[in-house]
Structure 1
Amino acid sequence: MASNSYRLKQGEAGKGSIFSRLEKWVRIDTAFQHGLPVKFLPHVLFVTAIGIFYIGNSHYAEKNVRKIDRLKTEVEDLRADYTTLKADYMKASKQSEVAANVKKLGLKESLQPPEKIVIEEE
């Protein structure tokens, strides 16, 4: 009985995954032939530390961008509230509005202009 075998199509013989190509190009197995190369360990640790720092810095920057966006929307809301309250205050401080609000308390608006009191020195 014949065994099943995988047959490559035309043109696929030279193709392979990127990892197989990388493995053929780099030859990692020859680097570890005599054991672990300890002389490269400081460089590997340095590159690893830089990578961790880079990732942490990216997360920190993204967190700050989100915080800035949240604060911008909050400032816009507070500015709108301030403008509304300022307009309401300006309207409420008009003489006609004050007179209408005081009329409910039983007070009347004076129609005579104020008089200046002059004290003569002796």
Structure 2
Amino acid sequence: MAKNTFRAKEEKGKATKRISSGSSLFSFIEKKLDITGLIGYGIPVKLVPPFLYAATLALIYIWSNHKAENTIREINRVQQEVEDLRADVTTLEADYMFSSKQSEVAKKMQALGVYEIDEPPMKIKVKK
């Protein structure tokens, strides 16, 4: 009994012209790699799990890099926001310190009719 094998279907005129001309990049790569010599005409079932494992690891690696880049971008955005808020706080503190000076408070109180005393306070002495 004969063994079943795959037969490569080729048209005599077209196949020889295409291979011999080498005009396509893919035909050149196919000639140089010759994968059919390694695995035959089809994918061996025993090689599927390692390829799937490698593909899964590659996808996890790509996802991890993508997530890390997004995290770095977010950190830079938040750092810029913190620097802006820090500058605002410094400005507000300087304004508060300036407005709490005695001369500034006196200017604000004059509008209400309260004036600053120019004389020093007197000490009251009580006789025993």
For the criterion TM > 0.5, the same-fold answer is yes
1:13-61 deviation per Cα after TM superposition (whole angstroms, max 9, x unaligned): 78862x434322332234142x431111121011101111111012101
Supply the distance in 1 between the matched residues of 2:114 and 2:65 (Cα, whole angstroms): 67
Change in Cα spacing, 1:72 to 1:116, as seen in structure 2 (3 Å) is: farther
Give, in whole Å, the separation in 1 of the partners of 2:123 and 2:34: 104
Corresponding pairs, count: 105
Aligned residue number for residue 102 of structure 1: 109
Distance in 2 of aligned mates of 1:116 and 1:14: 113
Structure number with higher helix proportion: 2
TM-score (norm 1): 0.71
Please give the alpha-carbon distance, in whole angstroms, between the structure 2 residues aligned to 1:89 and 1:73: 24
Aligned to 1:8: none
AA partner of residue 99 (structure 2) = A
**Paired letter, 2:76:** D
Read off the aligned partner of 2:118 and give its amino acid letter. Answer: L
Cα distance in 2 between the residues matched to 1:113 and 1:14: 107
Counterpart of 2:80 in structure 1 is 73
Taking only the aligned residue pairs, the percentage that are identical comes to 48
Structure 2 unaligned runs (5+)?
A: 1-20
Task: Pick closer, same or farther for the CA change 1:114–1:65 going to 2, 3 Å.
Answer: farther
Distance 1:64 1:24 in 2: 45
TM-aligned CA deviation for residue 70 of structure 1: 1.0
1:28 corresponds in structure 2 to: 35
TM-score by length of 2: 0.68
Q: Deviations over 1:61-92 (max 9, x none)?
A: 11112111211221121011111101100100
- Superposed CA RMSD in Å reads 2.6
Indicate which of 38, 42, 45 corresponds to 2:52: 45
Tell which has more relative contact order, 1 or 2 (C-alpha 8 A, sep 6+).
2
